[in-house]
């Protein structure tokens, strides 16, 4: 009887300690795993975000860049980290949707191994053509591509990149066929389209807009579900192709098994951080759209994105380079 009583008292003590620990969360710095190298677009966003999260949550948020292999190295590290709220991770469409398809084997399951906390932002692509291509609208592009199947050279930043998959989705939904030309990164892709070596691309809006303003590219439409407030004169591709939407995204996740109280505390702090004017200004400058969400909304969003894009990526034949 005495042993049983001691056991009950011991369990009650542990539960009380755990409750106190989570009530005081966070009590030490938070490690922020970024699965891209320093200086990348995701890294720059993460640094801007970490500054605001540090202020919102009251503890230092320390970046840990673990780039390589299509963001799979850092993502696997995050998935295997302690589920105690002191490791957070910035996931995106490449690591969570594309890499698990184009790499023969990754050491994580994007749905099973993570607990979503909040979406942060989305960024969209733009259908942009070299001025020599005789089309001025998405409708004309579709007609031209159908009349000359395989003649248009669609450049991308690499097999399985967002610019590649955005173009593949467009072809699938419009029943057109273009010749995919993968380049080694966004820099080479821009040079190719500006020179006319590639006829068009579905590059990020932030990349295409500056060249469109100077007349070096003709921007036909954006991949957002509706026109972007920052570019009201550029149609959404969905105005011509109903249902077309493609956007890269970035969000904060933690290892599966992280206590729900911690997830909720993080979610509240993240929403506070991303709604600061400083972070909003950063996203606007980069051509991204502020999102923010509940953990449940983010989980549903991820599942939809995986279900929608996995068959498109597989049909494209994209493989890791």
If you ran DSSP here, which 8-state letter would residue 236 be given?
A: B
CB 248, CB 121: distance < 8 Å: no
Tokens of 234: 């550029």
User: How distant, in Å, are the alpha carbons of 139, 145, 161 from that of 196?
Assistant: 21, 17, 20
User: How distant, in Å, are the alpha carbons of 73, 209, 210 from that of 286?
Assistant: 26, 11, 12
- 126 by Cβ neighbours in 10 Å (0-12 / 13-18 / 19+) ranks as buried
**In this structure, what are the phi and psi dihedrals at residue 132, rounded to the nearest 5 degrees?**
-75, -15
173's CB contacts (< 8 A; 6+ apart) are 241, 243, 244
Residue of 226, 198, 196, 208 lying closest to 131 (CA atoms): 196
Query: 266-299: per-residue pLDDT in tens?
Result: 999 999 999 999 999 999 888 788 999 999 999 9
Mean pLDDT of the 199-219 span: 92
Task: Examine the pLDDT at 14 and tell me if it is beyond 50.
Answer: no
Query: 225-256: per-residue pLDDT in tens?
Result: 999 988 999 999 999 999 999 989 999 999 99
Please report the sign of the dihedral spanned by the C-alpha atoms of residue 54, residue 58, residue 60, residue 63.
negative
Predicted local confidence at residue 21, as pLDDT: 53
pLDDT band at 18 (very low <50, low <70, confident <90, very high): very low
- 271 by Cβ neighbours in 10 Å (0-12 / 13-18 / 19+) ranks as middle
Query: 42-91: per-residue pLDDT in tens?
Result: 899 999 999 999 999 999 999 999 998 889 999 999 999 999 999 999 99
Average confidence score pLDDT of the chain: 91
186's CB contacts (< 8 A; 6+ apart) are 157, 161, 163, 203, 204, 207
Task: Examine the pLDDT at 23 and tell me if it is beyond 60.
Answer: yes
d(CA 252, CA 46): 10
Residue of 289, 288, 305, 286 lying closest to 297 (CA atoms): 305
Q: What is the pTM of this model?
A: 0.81
**In this structure, what are the phi and psi dihedrals at residue 124, rounded to the nearest 5 degrees?**
-115, 165
Task: Examine the pLDDT at 39 and tell me if it is beyond 50.
Answer: yes
Exposure string over 293-308, b if 16+ CB within 10 A, otherwise e: bebeebbebbeebbee
26's CB contacts (< 8 A; 6+ apart) are 57, 58, 59, 85, 86, 265
d(CA 198, CA 153): 5
Task: Examine the pLDDT at 6 and tell me if it is beyond 80.
Answer: no
CB 115, CB 190: distance < 8 Å: no
Mean pLDDT of the 314-320 span: 85
Tokens of 236: 């959404």
d(CA 249, CA 245): 12
d(CA 139, CA 127): 12
């Amino acid at each position: 009887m005495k042993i049983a009583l001691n056991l009950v008292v011991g369990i009650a003590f542990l539960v009380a300690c755990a409750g106190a620990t989570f009530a005081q969360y966070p009590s030490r710095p938070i490690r922020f795993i970024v699965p891209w190298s320093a200086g990348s677009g995701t890294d720059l966003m993460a640094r801007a975000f970490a500054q605001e999260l540090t202020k919102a949550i009251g503890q230092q948020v320390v970046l840990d860049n673990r780039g390589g292999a299509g963001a799979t190295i850092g993502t696997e590290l995050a998935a295997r980290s302690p589920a105690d709220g002191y490791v957070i991770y910035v996931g995106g469409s490449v690591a969570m949707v594309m890499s698990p398809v184009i790499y023969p084997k990754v050491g994580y399951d994007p749905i099973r191994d993570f607990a979503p906390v909040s979406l942060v932002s989305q960024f969209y692509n733009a259908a942009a053509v070299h001025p020599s291509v005789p089309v001025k609208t998405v409708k004309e592009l579709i007609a031209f591509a159908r009349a000359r199947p395989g003649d248009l050279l669609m450049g991308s930043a690499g097999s399985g990149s967002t610019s590649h998959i955005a173009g593949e989705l467009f072809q699938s939904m419009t029943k057109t066929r273009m010749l995919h030309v993968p380049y080694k990164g966004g820099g080479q892709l821009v040079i190719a389209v500006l020179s006319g070596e590639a006829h068009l691309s579905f590059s990020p809006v932030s990349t295409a807009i500056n060249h469109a303003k100077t007349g070096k590219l003709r921007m036909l439409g954006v991949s957002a579900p509706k026109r972007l407030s920052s570019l009201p004169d550029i149609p959404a591709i969905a105005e011509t192709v109903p249902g077309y939407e493609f956007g890269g995204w970035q969000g904060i996740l933690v290892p599966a098994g992280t206590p729900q109280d911690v997830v909720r505390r993080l979610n509240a702090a993240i929403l506070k951080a991303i709604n600061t004017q400083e972070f909003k200004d950063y996203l606007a400058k980069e051509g991204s759209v502020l999102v923010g969400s509940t953990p449940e909304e983010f989980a549903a969003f991820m599942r939809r994105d995986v279900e929608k894009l996995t068959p498109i990526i597989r049909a494209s034949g994209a493989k890791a380079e």
